[in-house]
Amino acid sequence: MNKDLLYRFFNGTATIEEEESVRNWIESSDDNYADFLHERKIYDALLLSTPSKISRQSFHQHLTPWILSTVASIALLVIATGLFFYAESSKSQQYNTIIVPPGQRINLILADNTNVWLNANTTFRYPSKFARKNREVFLDGEAWFDVSKNKKKPFIVKTEQGEVRVTGTTFNLEAYSEYKNFVTSLFEGSVDIYQNNAKLATLKPNQKGMLQNDRYFISTIDNTDKYLWRDGLIAFDNMKLEDILFELEKYFDIQIEVNTKKLPQHRYTGKFRQADGVDYALRVLQKSIHFSYNRDDEKQIIYIN
């Protein structure tokens, strides 16, 4: 597969015909899929190590074959360690900050061997070395944590809405400050939920806790597809179109405006690959839910009609 075409696909500038060509190539063999993932890792590394002031289009224009071949080994090394960060100093510790762009995700291992996956549009701050009494990190976005066990040093995830305290467990935390959400889904161990230093609840495996209107609600996790984002998938389970559009805004950092009062109320269940882009997701939705849309690329707005 032509690398320039692949990177146009990653960058979202490929035509509909080119997108279909790439998808057919991926699905034709396991080797092609492996090559696709290999190139995707290089692209992610380059994108995440590029200053945020550089636009995606400008970034893509500089992805010449010579640059790609030169940085490939470096990019793979960065991907292997999972460290895409800039450092900031404080009086006691040095913190690293990771900012994950729309449509991307990152996996990293912290100093205590805790495994962390970061979803799109997520900002994550963590120290190069944890303090003696606890392991404290800061999250604005969504992350999956597989926390290394250490009962003497609790692992604390702080967000704008609240915090999660554990000693060793596996959980997903969604806490985007922009959307004021604070949802914890537990899969192993136990977690304590706090707000303003007051304990709200203790979750058990297969429980989900949600803070809403200053009240904390606990329910059972009945569908795990939502957490497939670590595999690059966006999953919807019996969701209304308006809620799906809300999710697409979050994942792709684009504004979606509804210009009709008769938005279809049908519910949708399905999955999309993040790499396919927002236009592909909308075209698939159109097959099940009747609506039309047009896009203003200059303003980065999609209008639903």
The pLDDT assigned to 45 comes to 60
**Sign of the dihedral through C-alpha 270, 220, 157, 193:** positive
Cβ neighbours for 38, distance < 8 A, ≥ 6 positions apart? none
Q: What is the per-residue pLDDT for 12?
A: 62
> Which residue intervals of the chain are DSSP H helices?
3-11, 16-28, 30-48, 56-61, 65-81, 241-252, 278-288
**CATH class of the domain at 86-220:** mainly beta
Q: What is the dihedral of CA 80, 82, 88, 93, to 10 degrees?
A: -90
pTM over 0.85: no
pLDDT the model gives residue 253? 78
End-to-end CA distance of the chain: 37
Domain 231-304, what fold? Phage tail protein beta-alpha-beta fold (3.55.50)
Structure tokens, 286: 């159109």
Please list the residue range(s) of the chain that carry CATH number 2.60.120.1440.
86-220
* pLDDT (tens place) for every residue of the chain, 305 residues total: 888 888 777 766 778 778 778 878 877 887 887 787 777 767 656 655 444 333 344 444 444 443 344 334 333 334 333 334 444 545 556 788 888 887 778 888 888 889 999 998 899 999 888 888 999 999 999 999 999 999 999 999 999 999 999 988 999 999 999 888 999 999 999 999 999 999 999 999 999 999 988 899 999 998 899 999 998 889 988 888 888 998 898 888 789 998 887 777 778 888 888 878 899 999 988 888 888 899 998 888 999 98
The reported pLDDT for the residue numbered 69 is 40
The structure tokens listed for 234 are 């966006």
What's the pLDDT score for residue 88? 52
- For residue range 108-160, list pLDDT tens digits in order: 888 888 999 999 889 999 988 888 899 999 999 999 999 999 999 999 999 99
pLDDT for res 38: 74
pLDDT at position 105 is 84
151 and 122 Cβ atoms separated by less than 8 Å: no
Written as six digits, the tokens of 156 are 């604390």
Distance CA 141, CA 106 (A): 12
